């Protein structure tokens, strides 16, 4: 069974650290951040660790942003 996580605010700081740790622990990680460039950069770091990742740029506090980016 695959382990999958979605980390919000993962573009920097604690969220980034959590996303990278989960990847090191064998999780496939969805990287959510309002800053699309930061989300993409962290997703790329995770892929360099050998795990699959997907950048999900969105403001999780805004319903319209989530719908628009789906």
CATH of the domain at 34: 3.40.50.720
CA angle 68, 28, 53 (to 5 degrees): 50
Residue range 4-27, pLDDT digits in tens: 999 999 999 999 999 999 999 999
Does residue 42 sit within a domain?
Answer: yes
Does residue 65 sit within a domain?
Answer: no
Query: What letter does residue 26 receive in the DSSP assignment?
Result: T
Count of domains observed in the chain: 1
Q: What is the reported pLDDT for 50?
A: 96
Is-contact 5 51, C-beta < 8 A?
no
- Full residue range of the structural domain in which residue 19 is found: 4-60
Q: pTM to 2 decimals?
A: 0.84
């Amino acid at each position: 069974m695959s382990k999958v996580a979605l980390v919000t605010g993962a573009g920097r700081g604690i969220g980034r650290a959590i996303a990278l740790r989960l990847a090191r622990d064998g999780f496939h990680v969805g990287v959510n951040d309002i800053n699309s460039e930061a989300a993409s950069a962290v997703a790329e770091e995770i892929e360099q660790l050998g795990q699959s990742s997907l950048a999900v740029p969105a403001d999780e506090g805004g319903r319209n942003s989530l719908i628009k980016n789906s």
